[in-house]
């Protein structure tokens, strides 16, 4: 379901509506900017557009826009066309490391020389209405999401960019526990981060510490770091 958030982010990148929803190479492109880059806004899982992006980057420069909700206000309606009966902020806050929840499904497309990933840290509003079929786990459905503010835009074109933006501080050989501490993320998210960085050939396994796998920067990254020094 296309949300208001999706439309607002398209306008955030390309204000000319004539450059929205363009048919190209058998695909519907969200927008094309003045530099002829294809803009793809993905509020849902990146997995849904992975194959599309892999094909488009063969011939075109592409920017994939992925919003994360650092702050989200939840607006609850008594019915779909009714009034708002409650407002509260969600206790969940998606910081930059939450991008690994998406990258685990996207490493076959990213990185690529023609691909830029824009991670937007945003404040959003989510409008909820009673679910048509309520269960003990599902008592509401999302009617719409809207953009309140883009707080920050983090553009990355390589795993090295993401590593730097996360300001990761780990020893030369590290475990996911140390990655969690050095990258300011919970351990379960650091495990996904390690998997992604390994798939993107930024780090490599190099041993074990008890049951924990040890990692280090890949040979190519170590050589690059020595040259820079």
Report the 10 Å Cβ neighbour count for 156. Answer: 21
Please give the average per-residue pLDDT across 219-225, as a whole number: 70
Instruction: Please tell me the distance from the alpha carbon of residue 121 to that of residue 152, in angstroms, as a whole number.
Output: 5
CA nearest 45: which of 103, 114, 118?
A: 103
Instruction: Please tell me the distance from the alpha carbon of residue 179 to that of residue 170, in angstroms, as a whole number.
Output: 6
DSSP string, 81-133: TS-EEEEEE-S----GGGGHHHHTTTTTTSS-TTEEEEEEEEEEEEEEEE-SS
CA nearest 179: which of 163, 158, 165?
A: 163
Q: Quick one: DSSP state of residue 6?
A: H
Range 160-164 contact pairs with CB under 8 angstroms and sequence separation of 24 or more: 160/202, 160/221, 160/224, 162/99, 163/197, 163/202
Per-residue burial over 26-37, b = 16 or more CB atoms within 10 Å of its CB, e = otherwise: eeebbbbeeeeb
Band (197; pLDDT cuts 50, 70, 90): very high
**Which pLDDT belongs to residue 221?**
72
Band (225; pLDDT cuts 50, 70, 90): low
User: What does the domain layout of the chain look like in residue ranges?
Assistant: 4-157, 167-229
CA nearest 126: which of 150, 149, 143, 151?
A: 143
**Which pLDDT belongs to residue 35?**
96
Question: Residue 26 pLDDT more than 80?
Answer: yes
Please write the tens of the pLDDT for every residue from 93-129: 999 999 999 999 999 999 999 999 999 999 999 999 8
**Which pLDDT belongs to residue 1?**
59
Please write the tens of the pLDDT for every residue from 150-193: 999 999 999 999 999 999 999 999 999 999 999 999 999 999 99
Q: How close are the terminal C-alpha atoms of the chain, in Å?
A: 49
In CATH, the number for domain 167-229 is: 1.10.10.10
């Amino acid at each position: 379901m296309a949300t208001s958030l999706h439309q607002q982010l398209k306008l955030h990148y390309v204000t000319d509506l004539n450059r929205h929803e363009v048919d190209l190479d058998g695909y519907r492109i969200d927008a094309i900017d003045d530099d002829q880059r294809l803009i793809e806004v993905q509020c849902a899982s990146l997995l849904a557009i992975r194959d599309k992006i892999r094909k488009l980057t063969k011939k075109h420069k592409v920017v994939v826009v992925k919003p994360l909700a650092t702050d989200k206000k939840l607006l609850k309606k008594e019915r779909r066309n009714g009034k708002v009966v409650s407002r509260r902020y969600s206790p969940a806050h998606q910081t930059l490391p939450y991008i690994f929840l998406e990258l685990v499904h996207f490493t076959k497309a990213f990185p690529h020389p023609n691909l830029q990933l824009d991670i937007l840290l945003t404040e959003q509003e989510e409008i909820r209405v009673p679910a048509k079929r309520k269960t003990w786990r599902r008592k509401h459905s999302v009617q719409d999401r809207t953009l309140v503010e883009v707080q920050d835009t983090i553009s990355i074109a390589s795993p090295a960019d993401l590593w730097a933006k996360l300001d990761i501080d780990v020893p030369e050989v590290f475990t996911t526990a140390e990655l969690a501490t050095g990258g300011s993320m919970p351990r379960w998210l650091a495990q996904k981060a390690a998997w992604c960085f390994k798939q993107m050939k930024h780090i490599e396994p190099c041993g074990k510490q008890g049951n924990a796998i040890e990692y280090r920067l890949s040979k190519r990254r170590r050589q690059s770091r020595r040259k820079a020094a």
